[in-house]
Structure 1
Amino acid sequence: MKTIKLFTAVLALTMFSQFPANSQEVASRSLARVDRVRDGDDDGQTKEFKFKVPGSPEQYTLKVSNLQTDITFEAYSGTELVITALDYEGIPEKAKGLKPLSATGPDNTEIGLNIKTEGNVISLSGAGKAASDSDYIIKMPTAMGLSYEQESWHGGGDFVVKGLSGEVNVQSKNSDIILTDVSGPIVANTVSGDINIVFTKMNSTKPTSLAATSGDIDITMPSDAKVNFKLSVVSGEIYTDLDLKFAEKEGLKSWGGMNANPTFNGGGVEISLRAVSGDIFLRKK
């Protein structure tokens, strides 16, 4: 178990250059990787599929499942889902004219995916091996909600989101969760991945909750954000450059770990962060 170090009486303040890349750097590298693949640096085809959202986008949630690959979601001002398959190999020549069987439904996109609408939920899932062999970029309306569940330990790539203002819910087994230019609320859980989030602004009414079992949680937020924190680490540490305030006599509590409920800029929206064997990093822009 790591030794819990208390600097400045409550939290460890440190120069972040000695730690792993912060949330902004991680997001930049992931998006650069996507651009390299999009520009044709990998083998296979690049194919596109468009799906019209049947109503006002902010009333809909995109629910993604059964995809064990790198997925990048990019917000834009349109009203369609624009799905690009990168390095797509498709079905073998011998299967031309046929469709692979899948428990989640047939490939009705011709890019290895099944898409369907149920009420205000648009469900997107992998439909065959081709989905696991490809990477996907999904452009979606900015205010649309997003839900993702990694159901299998097999495979699993990075889960990247850029620019969404709607609610994001991510349940991951071994994927890194990378969100940039988001406002929340965010609910994210990962077992053996890291969580990196860069907020452009904070949703002022709905809480954010993040949990990592064996990874780090790294959050960057605006310097004027108003937050009530609930922080917990079991065998890790908490590092920050935020000017956090504690209730009188509350301070930092430790029971085989570290627990704290400080406020930032007088308090506001609730953000709950829990890391079991990783560290928590809190940064301001």
Structure 2
Amino acid sequence: MAGTDQTRRGETPYEAGPAVILVAPQLGENIGTAARAMLNFGLTDLRLVRPRDGWPNERARAAASGADIVVDGARVFDTTAAAVADLDYVIATTARARDMVKPILTPEAAAAGLRDAVRKGGQAGLLFGPERTGLENDDLALADALMMVPVNPAFASLNLAQCVLLMSYEWHKAGDATEAARIDYQQTRPANKNELLGFFEHLETELDRFGFLKPPEKKPSMIRNLRNMFQRAALTEQEVRTLRGVVAALTRRVPKGEGPEGA
């Protein structure tokens, strides 16, 4: 997969996470793509309940696209109860409301619940049913809460791997300290106020010299507007130096008759 750092394959940077339990998965390819989705977000505990095409399954391995640690470690169970027996907190995924008195969570809230269970020293799990029918009520009865994805009600058609990917991502995001957005400054840094003020004064001096800041009564508001515009740009130190160079270049040589009075 593009973006995979092959040099880090041996580091196994996987934290303790929820088990992913697939109940009666229909195709080996479904299992493999679910395994691939899991490993993208560091989950490795895959449990299979009565896989229709048996296990091991070479089609699953091929579809996993290198997520061998998940496929090789997968465990098979005869019943859902056996698959969740060692878990302390289980969330079951469902595409429709069921006649059960259980908390119904969004993916984000479900991930927070899983994180809380693991943080308290427990073991957690995510329960997924077969694509065609979903989980049976007896399986749902084993769960502490249900999770429903808020999809388009006119086309609620997530496949198994998509659902596993969604919840693996939410799990990972709930514990990820990465900033939502950041700037890689590399060889520069954000401009400080002193540098910005130096640029503002340079620009304003030249604009005033060339008659831009008129009429006089509007000069203060024009200056504030210019400063606010450049403040929003979040300039770097290098960008401030570049802009000062631009101002200097534009005002260094002015064709006769086009400069300020007396030029």
Same fold (TM over 0.5): no
Which structure has more strand as a fraction of its residues? 1
> The TM-score by the shorter chain falls in which range?
under 0.3
More helix by proportion, 1 or 2? 2
- Which protein is bigger by CA-based radius of gyration? 2
What's the TM-score, normalizing by structure 1? 0.21
